[in-house]
Structure 1
Amino acid sequence: MSLPSNFEDLIAEAEGLNLYKKLIIQLNKDLLYANIDLEFDHETLPTSLKLVLNETVFHLIQSKFSEYLNLLYIVDVSELKIKKLDGSDTLQLSEEVTFLILQREWQKVWYKNNILS
């Protein structure tokens, strides 16, 4: 599996395989496990998903850093990928982390659909 390199490719692949709703379900499950008070409706548009998740990640970085780290742990975002990011601009960092979260969630959904079924 080659991972999508940007948000648009990720969404196009998820929608092309009819797995976008499963992506939202997986994200909701991990947000719940991480005790993040956020749940996406299954009909959430991709642009809204990205925007709201990004705002949440930004807020967590700014004011609830331990919850942010817990979310990364629950989602299982690569520590190496996080360490490679430039943390000098929190807004840019939150956007990049948001994509890494969605990318990891996509890996889980793709794997469950293709390997386990």
Structure 2
Amino acid sequence: MLKNHTHIEELLGEATQEALYEKLIVQLNKDFLMANIEESFSTNIAPETLKKELHAIVYQLIHEKFAEYLNLLYIMDVSEAKIKALDGSDVVKLSEQVTFLILKREWQKVWFKNKL
């Protein structure tokens, strides 16, 4: 059964335990490519490094390329209601929360593809 994670570390830990971490990276790269964002992650990137790099990318997109940020969320199918429910007053905190929502959505895709 798909767990409702409350922390990025918990989600990335489960992906690693289930031997689906690499597929999570592949899914992220695929959606970034579909959104025309020229960032990609090595499949052997450490979970902590992935978290930091993805957070930095999301922060940069919010700050400098807002249309591309919205397009990425659309391509990834991140819940608009969940994004709207976030507090946008602190962009660093907002980008961290969005990073978690992105990883959560990508994990759902990978988990369902491999469990069904």
TM-score of Structure 1 vs Structure 2, range by shorter chain: over 0.9
C-alpha separation in 2, matches of 1:4 and 1:22: 18
1:26-63 C-alpha deviation (Å, 9 max, x unpaired): 00000000111111011000111111111111011001
Q: Any runs of at least 4 consecutive aligned residues in structure 1 with deviations exceeding 3 A, and if so which?
A: none
Unaligned runs of 5+ in 2: none
What's 2:12 paired with? 11
User: TM-score with structure 1 length normalisation?
Assistant: 0.96
C-alpha separation in 2, matches of 1:40 and 1:2: 24
C-alpha separation in 2, matches of 1:101 and 1:72: 8
Unaligned runs of 5+ in 1: none
1:56-90 C-alpha deviation (Å, 9 max, x unpaired): 11011001100000000001000010011000000
C-alpha separation in 2, matches of 1:27 and 1:56: 12
Aligned CA-pair RMSD: 0.7
1:93-115 C-alpha deviation (Å, 9 max, x unpaired): 00000010000000000000001
Figure out how many residues of one structure are paired with residues of the other and give that number. 115
User: TM-score with structure 2 length normalisation?
Assistant: 0.97
Q: Percent identity?
A: 57
